[in-house]
Structure 1
């Protein structure tokens, strides 16, 4: 059971990290270089789509790593799993407190109706997202460590 849990947890967290890394490094920089109308429409659509999916993915990742930490408690893998769960929990808090408010606003923007500082708000979101990606990458690495040490 432990091996199965470790594989499922690493897969769920790893795919989430891959999506968020791709958004940070490839998708959003490309969209930011588009003309204003196209950039706004594309990012608004991304905010709506990913805004519906990612909360479940993030919470599922935290729950799986917490479960892995509970199962490996007292073993060498336990500390890595606990640290991974803590980092992923920090990413959830960071998302709710800092990124979701910007995301919710940007999801409503259109080419015709958007704030003057839309580009600055999106760049702020991007900077915060880079920090979140660093946190979840660290959580993913620790998840892998816990899975291999277990």
Structure 2
């Protein structure tokens, strides 16, 4: 076993890093990616410094531990990007306050309006087709409108 440690070399670390990153494809979760990156860094540093095997293992441990805060920072910054799209997966809520033209009249409290390529069911006071209405509330796929 100790002979294996003595033979740790640059190419072994590079191959180990590539294998870990490839395993990430089979077991997604971003954990193996960072370990693979740490192994690649040890391999690259070993090209220049030629450290002893103990130092190589220590560098791997340090690089792997340093990857955790980097990963958390990247995950947080990517999570903040979804806040720039607050209506993602809530398309109807994004329509509240906008004004559209009725496609079919509202009769007995029900009618339709075409928004882009979709026909939406609307509820509100009786209004003739072609009238401008403002969306005041969204409830699932049903919109409540008022005269604009």
- Normalising by the residue count of structure 1, what TM-score does the alignment of the two structures yield? 0.30
**Which structure has more strand as a fraction of its residues?**
2
**Which structure has more helix as a fraction of its residues?**
1
Higher relative contact order (CA 8 A, sep 6+): 1
Say which one has the larger Rg. Answer: 2
